[in-house]
Structure 1
Amino acid sequence: MPYKYGCYSFSANADLVAMVGHGQLSEDQASYTKIGSDNYIKLLNEKDKKILIDIRNSYGNLTTDLLIKLTYLNYQYYSINSVKAKQILSNEQYESVLRAKPVNDKTVLYTIGYEGISLGRISKSAC
Structure 2
Amino acid sequence: MYYRRKILLALLSVFDGQLTAKQFQKYLFLFTRKQEIKSFDFVPYRYGCFSFQANQDIATLAKYGYCTIAENRKVRFFELTKDDDFFNTLKPEDRKSLLEVKAQFGNLRQSDLIRYTYRQYPYYAIKSVIAKDLLNSTELNTIELQKRHYHEKQLFSIGYEGISLEAYINKLIINDVNVLCDVRKNAYSQKYGFSKKTLELACKSVDIEYVHIPDLGIISNKRKELSSQEDYDDLFREYEKTTLKENRASLLAIRSLLDKGKRVALTCFEKDPKQCHRTCVANALMQLPETDYKFKNL
What's the Cα RMSD here? 2.3
CA contact 2:215–2:247 (8 Å) conserved in 1 = no
TM-score of the superposed pair, with normalisation by structure 1:
0.83
What amino acid sits opposite 2:244 in the alignment?
A: S
Q: Does 1:39 align with 2:85?
A: yes
Q: Does 1:101 align with 2:201?
A: no
Give 2:69's aligned residue: 27
Aligned equivalents of 2:103 and 2:111: distance in 1?
A: 17
Residue number among 106, 114, 129 corresponding to 1:83 in the alignment:
129
Aligned equivalents of 1:96 and 1:12: distance in 2?
A: 27
TM-score of the superposed pair, with normalisation by structure 2:
0.38
Q: Partner of 1:54: helix, strand, or coil?
A: helix
Shift of 1:66: 1.0
Query: Aligned pair in 2 of structure 1 residues 25, 102: CA closer, same or farther (>3 Å)?
Result: same
Residue number among 92, 100, 109 corresponding to 2:138 in the alignment:
92
Shift of 1:120: 7.9
By percentage of residues, which structure has more strand? 2
May I ask how many residue pairs the two structures share in their alignment?
123
Q: Does 1:74 align with 2:82?
A: no
Query: Aligned pair in 2 of structure 1 residues 119, 87: CA closer, same or farther (>3 Å)?
Result: farther
Structure 1 unmatched runs, 5+ = none
Aligned equivalents of 2:247 and 2:132: distance in 1?
A: 50
Give 2:59's aligned residue: 17
Moved more, 93-102 or 81-90: 93-102
**Higher RCO structure (Cα 8 Å, ≥6 apart):** 1
Give 2:105's aligned residue: 59
Aligned equivalents of 2:91 and 2:51: distance in 1?
A: 25
